[in-house]
Amino acid sequence: MYERILIPTDGSNVAQAAVDSAIDLAERYDAEIHALFVADTDAVAYGLGTEQVDRIRQGNFEGMTELREDATEATSYVTEQAEKAGVAAVEHHAGGQPHRMIANYADDHEIDLIVIGSHGRSGVRRALLGSVTERVLRSTHTPVLVVDYQEDD
C-alpha cells in the first residue's frame, strides 16, 4: 500500500510526533521514509540578499550555519529513528514555499503518503491546523496523515 512515505519536518515536537507515526507505518508496509526540511524563502527573504535566497531555493545552505544546522538536525532525527527501526530513509533539504515544495517533492518522488505535524514551530497552540499543513492538504492529491502533539501538563 505504501512504498514511500514523506515526513516534512522543522524539528519541532509536533514534527517529531509525526515521525513516530510514519515510522510505524513504514515498518508495517516495508516502506522507505523521506525526510524533507524546507526553508521558507518568503520568511527569510527580507533579511537576505537575492543571491542567498536563490541558494536556499536550490537547497544550498552553505554559509548559513544556523539554517544548515536546523535542517540537518531536523532530518537527521528522522533518519536516526528510521535506522533504529530498520527502515530505509532519505534526507532532503530545500528552499521555497513549504506547501509547494512538499507537494512537488511528493509528486516528483512518487510519494504514497505524507505524514505531517498539525502545526510547526509556532509557540501558540492553535485550534486550527497550522498554515503549512492546511496548505499542503489543499496543494496535493497525495494522501496526508496529520498528527497532533500535546505536551504533558
Residue 132 or 130, more confident: 132
What share of the chain has pLDDT > 90, as a percent? 54
46-68 pLDDT tens trace: 556 666 666 676 666 666 677 88
What's residue 49's pLDDT?
Answer: 61
Domains of the chain: 4-147 (3.40.50.620)
What's residue 12's pLDDT?
Answer: 86
Give the C-alpha separation, 146 to 81, whole Å.
19
What's residue 131's pLDDT?
Answer: 81
What's residue 128's pLDDT?
Answer: 42
**pTM, 2 dp:** 0.85
6-53 pLDDT tens trace: 999 998 888 888 999 999 999 999 999 999 999 887 766 555 666 666
- 3-class SS string, the chain: CCCEEEEECCCCHHHHHHHHHHHHHHHHHCCEEEEEEEEEHHHHHHHCCHHHHHHHHCCCCCCCHHHHHHHHHHHHHHHHHHHHCCCCEEEEEEEECHHHHHHHHHHHCCCCEEEEECCCCCCCCCCCCCHHHHHHHHHCCCCEEEECCCCCC
